[in-house]
Amino acid sequence: MKTEKKTEKKTEKKTGRATAPGELLCVRDLYKRYAAENNRTMKREYSEVIREISLTVRENESVCIMGRSGCGKTTLLKILGGLLAPTAGSVYYKGEDLFRSRRKRMEEYRRTQVGFVFQDYKLLEHLTVRDNMILPLMLEHGDVEASVRKVEEMADRLQIAGRLAYYPGELSGGEKQRAAIGRALMNDPELILADEPTGNLDEASGRIVMELLTGLQKELHKTLVLVTHDREIADHCDRTITIRHGRIDSLD
Ligand SMILES: Nc1ncnc2c1ncn2[C@@H]1O[C@H](COP(=O)(O)OP(=O)(O)O)[C@@H](O)[C@H]1O
Ligand SMILES: [Mg+2]
């Protein structure tokens, strides 16, 4: 009896949590605290940024995370993307307990299953749009001809085909973000994580970026988790989760 129990536990550990059909991400009892040195007292102090967050993201849906500046949105997104480890709690990706998997697996998750889009684009300034977009593909396999075709096709969809030979410094903000979206989608990730992707854009280019992003997400059957504090941007998503002081305030 005893041994049986042990085996059962082991299997559970290896495979993680059983997933419900259609579930991509499952976050359970997540906590994150940051440590900082207090300059006055010289003591280490902790601030709790994420407090007991649990949520589920289904395949192919777009979820918007809203909340005031400083409430923990970026921290949560970084944890979902495996860029930052939580202090406690779990993130399951298709039932796999990400932060209990091996480092190599986590690197692979970040590289192949997740596409990141940042507020400040994070394009490499000394590379053209074409090279910025092709880079993730080169890291994966290096078939140059197929990669060039893929970049051109994606640029066409994002309406920046005429900008492929330009450097980021020669583009408008909206064009930069469209190039960054193209780069994020190059490896065909299942999950797109976008942190205030329209935060640096004017209303008109922000709307175009959102329409292209959510359009591609639906067309290519991706899952999108997007952070914003703009209600209008949130309306482009299937549902919204509001965070307040590190906790979920409301779900709709
Ligand atoms: N690396 C860090 N070290 C210490 N504190 C941090 C760090 N990153 C973020 N914080 C703090 O955590 C809180 C939440 O930050 P963040 O997740 O960036 O919020 P949001 O994206 O909602 O504005 C803020 O008070 C911020 O100052
Ligand atoms: Mg933020």
SS (H, E, C) 147-210: HHHHHHHHHHHCCCHHHCCCCHHHCCHHHHHHHHHHHHHCCCCCEEEEECCCCCCCHHHHHHHH
pLDDT at 3 over 60: no
Q: CB-based burial of residue 182 (10 Å sphere; 0-12 exposed, 13-18 middle, 19+ buried)? A: buried
pLDDT tens digits, 113-134? 999 999 999 999 999 999 999 9
Alpha-helix residue ranges (DSSP H) falling in the chain: 2-15, 73-80, 103-108, 129-140, 144-157, 173-185, 203-219, 231-234
Q: Which residues pair with 66 in a beta bridge?
A: 242
Q: Please enumerate in sequence order all residues whose Cβ is within 8 A of that of 33, keeping only pairs 6 or more positions apart, or say none.
A: 46, 47, 48, 49, 87
Q: Which of 75, 79, 196, 229 to mutate to test the pocket of ligand 1 (most atoms within 8 A of CB)?
A: 75
Question: Which one, of 71, 77, 53, lies nearest residue 193 by Cα?
Answer: 77
pLDDT tens digits, 138-173? 888 778 899 999 999 999 999 999 999 999 999 999
Q: What pLDDT score does 217 carry?
A: 96
Average pLDDT over residues 31-59: 92
Q: Whose CA is nearest to atom 4 of ligand 1?
A: 34
Question: Which one, of 24, 90, 20, lies nearest residue 62 by Cα?
Answer: 24
What does pTM read for this prediction? Answer: 0.91
For ligand 2, the distance from its centroid to the CA atom of residue 194, given in whole angstroms, is: 10
Any idea which ligand is nearest the CA of 75? 1
Q: What pLDDT score does 251 carry?
A: 64
pLDDT tier at 18 (50, 70, 90 boundaries)? confident
pLDDT tens digits, 193-240? 999 999 999 999 999 999 999 999 999 999 999 999 888 889 899 999
Q: Whose CA is nearest to atom 2 of ligand 1?
A: 34
Q: Whose CA is nearest to atom 12 of ligand 1?
A: 49
Q: Are strands 114-117 and 23-37 parallel, antiparallel or unpaired?
A: unpaired
Q: Please enumerate in sequence order all residues whose Cβ is within 8 A of that of 154, keeping only pairs 6 or more positions apart, or say none.
A: 133, 182, 185, 186
* Under 8 Å between Cβ of 67 and 73: yes
Domains along the sequence of the chain with CATH: 59-86+100-251 (3.40.50.300)
* CB of 205 closer than 6 angstroms to any ligand 1 atom: no
